[in-house]
Copies of this chain bind each other. A is one copy, B any other.
């Protein structure tokens, strides 16, 4: 089953544009009168009937709206330092969307080798992953932000920082409670600095371990995201 995406929903009608319209008209060869399913990325899943089909834009009349798709009992915010190799960050975004994540921040850390990220491209990866995993809600992706600035935003819920420095740390899976919001910080290839860890602790982030193995940044991020979802399964 193919799921379409549109953020243009108004007065009982949905507008498909660009790639979504082209796929509908030229790849799937849909015709007016055909029924399709569309999500708006805000949690709404529509079943509608095509009223006009062109390769640049298609119009869909909404027959049914479902707003209860995969509702999650908690809010998961992953704050991750972008990897030097952008493919690794993109891979994380796809996998996190499949497992389930609500909000993603990109942390610019003292040891970050990458300071610039094109979020428009990352946005397209999130949309594709949302559709592929049949979800109606698109994770919110924030523009890159300096670690210290991120600390100024008071996050709510269970706050964790996964760092690799020597310290007594409980495993994340023994730390999280189900049904409570979570925000997890994942550092860059060179790890968080002592200064960043100190600042995070001062802001009530608890150091956690993700196990004995040395994990790459994106692997640590996907592990943490997966654990938060497992706790709530």
Contact = CB atoms under 8 A, between A and B. Distances in A.
B132 A213 contact: no
A90 to B, nearest CB: 11
A219 B219 CA distance: 12
A212 B173 contact: no
Interface in A155-213: 171, 173, 211-213
Interface string A138-159: 0000000000000000000000
Contacts of A219: 95, 98-99
A214 interface: yes
A215 B70 contact: no
A171 B233 CA distance: 8
A211 B99 CA distance: 9
Given A171-B233, A222-B222, A98 B213 contact: yes
A230 B132 CA distance: 27
Interface of A: 70, 91, 95, 98-100, 132-135, 171, 173, 211-216, 219, 222-223, 226-227, 229-230, 233
